[in-house]
Amino acid sequence: MDEHACDWSAVRYEGRLRTGRTRPLLLDVERRQDGATSRMRCVTKARGCPEVEEFTLCHEYLGCRLARLFGLSAPRAEFVWISPELLEANRQELDRDGGQVRPGVAVGVEHQSNLLPFPIPAELHESERTDAARVFAFDLLVQNADRRARNPNCGRSGGRIIPYDFESAFGFRFALSAPEAWRVSALGFAREHLFFAELKGAQVEWDAVLAPFRAVSWAAVREACGTLPEACAGIGAQVLAHLQVVEHNWSKFETEVQIALEIAT
């Protein structure tokens, strides 16, 4: 992936997060378009951060985009160009903070300054149950097995549940043998999900939970899967093929999400 894949460029290094496996960077980024300049602060995963590869960057970006399309309160994600000049200008701070960050294309997720972490084990307020069930359903849809009690990957902000970290989504890409895309009750990780224990046996308004899923623009889904850089186009095609199978078996998928809470023990 090269600079042409990015609308946004990193302009200021603000430090490095101490938590999380990938030790992401906190960067101020900007985009210049049609004579206007837009800015935001991003939690940014870059090559050279622990466990970050080209495909995990694509997973992160596409997972965030799809989550927002399906009605989750996920943060905005953008491809960000990190120049050699920026890294060199901040070499002392980067060396102090550890890691060998490399220039190139990274993925920045808009920083949530007021995000509150979930307690472990997760405890839901009744008003959060719909949000939590929607996150659960989406993680089954994209086969994201990483949102667990020991690794919550979400927080609270403004009365909403904010999910993040989607680099481990799309597990079907690596499965030697996988169930049909819609048969999510067969996914063994469901019982380990962060919200499984709180949702199992609870009164869940599934019509409200799945309403944004039913209303999703499949044209927008196809567009999102097609926005990955050329080097990662195969990932977008695999994800779209998976989602299209679910689209064509939608009623089965809705039933399977509920069955996953009933049979997983």
Q: In what order do the strands lie in the sheet with 160-163?
A: 116-117, 154-157, 160-163
Instruction: Give the Cα-Cα-Cα angle 244, 170, 175 (nearest 5 degrees).
Output: 100
- pLDDT tens digits, one per residue of 37-74: 999 999 999 998 888 999 999 999 999 999 999 999 99
Cβ proximity of 116 and 157 under 8 Å: yes
Query: What is the residue extent of each domain of the chain?
Result: 3-110, 116-263
What residue type is assigned to position 106 of the chain?
A
DSSP secondary structure, 29-78, as one string = EEEEETTEEEEEEEEEE-BTBTT--HHHHHHHHHHHHHHHHTT--PPPEE
| Global pTM value | 0.94
Q: Which of 17, 261, 229, 47 is nearest to 139 (CA)?
A: 261
Query: Is the link from the previous residue into 121 a cis peptide, with omega within 30 of 0?
Result: yes
Taking the C-alpha atoms of residue 203 and residue 199, their distance in angstroms, rounded to an integer, is: 8
Taking the C-alpha atoms of residue 229 and residue 90, their distance in angstroms, rounded to an integer, is: 28
Please report, in tens digits, the pLDDT of each residue of the chain (265 residues total).
Answer: 666 678 899 999 999 987 778 889 999 999 998 889 999 999 999 998 888 999 999 999 999 999 999 999 999 999 999 999 999 999 988 888 776 899 999 999 999 989 998 888 889 999 999 999 999 999 999 999 999 988 999 999 999 999 999 999 999 999 877 789 999 999 999 999 999 999 999 999 999 999 999 999 999 999 999 999 888 999 999 999 999 999 999 999 999 999 999 875 4
Beta strands 25-33; 104-110: pairing state? unpaired
Maximum Cα–Cα distance across the chain: 57
